[in-house]
Copies of this chain bind each other. A is one copy, B any other.
């Protein structure tokens, strides 16, 4: 049958409590003893029983992943990253699709935390950027890490993994400017996403630094969807003085913009350049491939999970104050330019 802590203790010639100490990295175990135990663990391929740990211990070995982003690629990427981090540390993952706009969210969160005894929460946008939700989470006193666009991180940096949308958008815009584009259309994502504002901000800053006056008529509101990209691009391209480039706030919109351009028989990239954002599989499934900003969602999620786990752990073990600034966990990510087929110099 399954190998338990008793087997390990017997093999190592110590008590189960000592084994427990070793696998939990508690102090007061002589190096020699520790080695004996670790050898036994390895030899028997022992792995602590999660159910028993959860039951007996004060801390839990489960964290939850909460999301309400409709983009499947995004969610899967994040989920896999978190899963990796959990596996590495012997934790379990509870998947919790939710809806930040629903009035039940608060009770839902409460139930999740109280009932399931989770050690921590990983939140992604737009859920992670909804103030009331964060408020509730804070009140619950559970450890959490929010993955957010930098602008949304202000108040509790310590619980955030940030994505610097503004800087990335700046870089992307600069790329277009460098290629001679003077009129660049901008398709905004949904208002509820902080990233929408960050990306727009970066875009504007780059324009300004490039000495180009604001062109309000080229900035269009929208949503992070294909349809929205189609509509926005159409509007831009049908205007009297159409832009020579379009900055779409994500790849899906860029694919939409691309589609619209095709419909209008516009040659790409000769007449029009298009850039996306995120580097989702979407940008590669379009054809030819989109120039975009690569956002390492998998890695971001892994760091978020690692961070929340380290919080949960340090809390459980030594209450040694300095636990917060975890070494080795990257806190800020700036998506970086990936130049592909869909952008080129401005037409002369």
- Please, which residues of chain B bring their CB within 8 A of the CB of A265? 265
Of the candidate stretches A26-34, A147-155, A225-233, the one touching chain B is: A225-233
A42 at interface (Cβ–Cβ under 8 A)?
A: no
**In the complex the two chains form, is B2's CB within 8 Å of A115's CB?**
yes
Residue of B92, B95, B115 touching A79 (CB-CB under 8 A): B95
**In the complex the two chains form, is B285's CB within 8 Å of A226's CB?**
yes
**In the complex the two chains form, is A47's CB within 8 Å of B95's CB?**
no
Could you give 29 example pairs across A and B, Cβ below 8 Å? Answer: A2-B114, A2-B115, A49-B55, A50-B51, A50-B116, A51-B52, A51-B54, A51-B55, A55-B55, A72-B72, A72-B75, A72-B281, A75-B76, A76-B76, A80-B97, A83-B95, A83-B97, A95-B95, A226-B285, A226-B287, A227-B285, A227-B287, A252-B285, A256-B285, A256-B287, A259-B262, A259-B286, A262-B262, A262-B263
Chain B nearest CB, measured from A235 CB (Å): 15
Q: How far is the CA of A286 from the CA of B287 in the complex (A)?
A: 13
- Please, which residues of chain B bring their CB within 8 A of the CB of A76? 72, 75-76
A51-B55, A226-B285 given; name 13 further pairs at CB < 8 Å.
Answer: A51-B54, A52-B55, A72-B281, A79-B95, A83-B95, A92-B94, A225-B285, A227-B287, A230-B287, A256-B285, A256-B287, A259-B259, A262-B263
Q: How far is the CA of A55 from the CA of B52 in the complex (A)?
A: 6
Number of copies: 2
Mark interface residues in A109-150 (1 if CB within 8 Å of B CB, else 0): 000001111000000000000000000000000000000000
Nearest CB to that of A94 among chain B residues?
A: B92
- Please, which residues of chain B bring their CB within 8 A of the CB of A97? 80, 83
Contact-residue bracket for chain A: 35 or more
Q: How far is the CA of A263 from the CA of B261 in the complex (A)?
A: 11
Which residues between 270 and 311 of chain A lie within 8 Å of chain B, taking CB atoms?
A: 281, 285-287
- Please, which residues of chain B bring their CB within 8 A of the CB of A116? 50
A200 at interface (Cβ–Cβ under 8 A)?
A: no
Top-4 shortest CB links A-B: A51-B54, A226-B285, A72-B72, A72-B76
**In the complex the two chains form, is A226's CB within 8 Å of B286's CB?**
yes
- Please, which residues of chain B bring their CB within 8 A of the CB of A94? 92
Mark interface residues in A51-75 (1 if CB within 8 Å of B CB, else 0): 1101100000000000000001101
Nearest CB to that of A255 among chain B residues?
A: B285
